[in-house]
Chains A and B, each alone.
Chain A
Amino acid sequence: MDEKFQDRIDNYLLNRMDDAEKTEFLREVEQDEEKKEQLEFTQDVKDSIRSREEKLQAIKQFQRQYEQERKTAAYRATGTKQAACYCPAPEVAATEPVRSKKIWLWISGVAAVLVVGFFAIKPMFDYESSPNYNGAPMEQMRGGDEVFSPAPADSTDNDTIKYNIEKKVNADE
């Protein structure tokens, strides 16, 4: 590409030449096929850039309008006759009591489980607070300690010999 000639092409296309320069330039272009082709190419580039830029700007506006209208359509789909706005959509308010009802249902359910659980689990740990804490199942029975307390270690109640004698005596009777 002839860069010096390119400068003259640019000056011609951007109207930076006086009439005499333009006439001279066009005469030169007519006599040289390569220069003519260079001028046509630059003219095409200029036209294409202008066309693209104008369209890009228009498309930016279209895009904004398109997004706005889609939002509007989304609001209108709620069934209201009001013009679209960015205020909360009516259906959001309508669903609020349903949501709070559900929350109360959950809270009361959890509370019920906790209460039932408390009464079910509590007796299992009660023996831990017993004064003698020996963990015997007998401790969980009804009645006082004096009635069902285990026999002392030196008691004859556990003496099998005594038991047998008593049994024999009874048999004789």
Chain B
Amino acid sequence: MAKTIQFRAPIQENEARLVAGMADKRRRTQYELYAYCSDYFWDNYRGVFFAEENAAAEILQNTFIAFWENIERRKIYVEDGIVMGKDQKPLNGSILTYFMSIARNKYLEYGREHPVYADPETELGRLLRAEGFDPNDYIDMLYDSGENLMLDIIADVISHMSPRCSQILTKFYYEEKKLETILKEMPTIESYDALKTKKNKCMNSLRKSAREIYKRKLNS
């Protein structure tokens, strides 16, 4: 059987090494990939979307987390020294192009969360409208269909939670603290019952948002 020989440029070899190292949880390589993506992001983000520097830094952070999770969930992976993407095919172009496409989606999300970015009265708002921004239109781009769809959506919704909800749920589920302990650490919450109600409201809100996105994705 004839075997297809794939020629790889040094850049592709390096990118395959970085993705493989990320998947293998090698700290040094994880940092190398972060620096590789950051350099490219800061040099090129102005050509991809319009954002102030602080907003861009937040977008970079969320983009890298999503990129990292995509490697962990093997949406992109390395096979025979080649970076593979959707449908087990080699990734088209550089991983940096892939990274910037996530960044662009994160930027659109940012516009949804920060009304000034979508406000038609502002310069930024006008630019977004000129681009045809509609929050419902890009859901397809954000989530791949597959068995991890709901997990993808939840991860995304969590990244947009209010700071208060994020604080409570992180202390409860990540730090595994009891509500009594959390109450002592958050003196602005007046009672145990109030904290419990808040925590349940946050969960309800998360659930509602995730379900809505899930349904929209299935309908699309």
Contacts and interface: CB of A to CB of B under 8 A. Distances in A.
A50 B174 contact: yes
A48 B207 contact: no
Interface in A34-48: 41-42, 44-48
A105 interface: no
Given A1-B204, A53-B174, A45 B65 contact: no
B158 A45 contact: yes
A53 B169 CA distance: 11
Contacts, number: 72
B34 A49 contact: no
Interface string B16-55: 0000000000010011001100100000000000000000
A50 B217 CA distance: 25
B35 A69 contact: yes
Contacts of B207: 1, 41
A42 B172 CA distance: 12
Interface stretch (B96-104, B119-127, B134-142, B148-156): B148-156
B interface, by DSSP: helix, strand, loop or mixed?
A: helix
Given A6-B200, A14-B176, A53-B174, A45 B34 contact: no
A52 B61 contact: no
Given A46-B173, A50-B173, A52-B158, A66 B151 contact: no
Contact of B155 (A41, A51, A59): A51
Interface in B181-220: 200, 203-204, 206-207, 210
Contacts of A69: 35
Interface residues of B, number: 30
B65 A6 contact: no
B69 interface: yes
A3 B38 CA distance: 43
Nearest to B33: A62
Contact of B206 (A3, A45, A56): A45
A3 B200 contact: yes
A65 B69 contact: no
B92 interface: no
B147 to A, nearest CB: 12
Given A45-B206, A47-B151, A52-B159, A58 B30 contact: yes
A interface, by DSSP: helix, strand, loop or mixed?
A: helix
A6 to B, nearest CB: 7
Contacts of A65: 31, 35
Contacts of A50: 173-174
A55 interface: yes
B117 interface: no
A50 B176 CA distance: 10
Given A13-B173, A47-B151, 10 more contacts: A41-B207, A41-B210, A45-B203, A48-B154, A49-B169, A49-B173, A52-B159, A58-B30, A59-B34, A69-B35
27 contacts: A1-B200, A10-B172, A13-B173, A42-B203, A44-B150, A45-B169, A45-B173, A47-B151, A48-B151, A48-B154, A48-B158, A49-B169, A49-B170, A49-B174, A50-B173, A51-B72, A52-B158, A53-B170, A55-B64, A55-B69, A56-B61, A56-B65, A62-B35, A66-B31, A66-B34, A66-B38, A69-B35
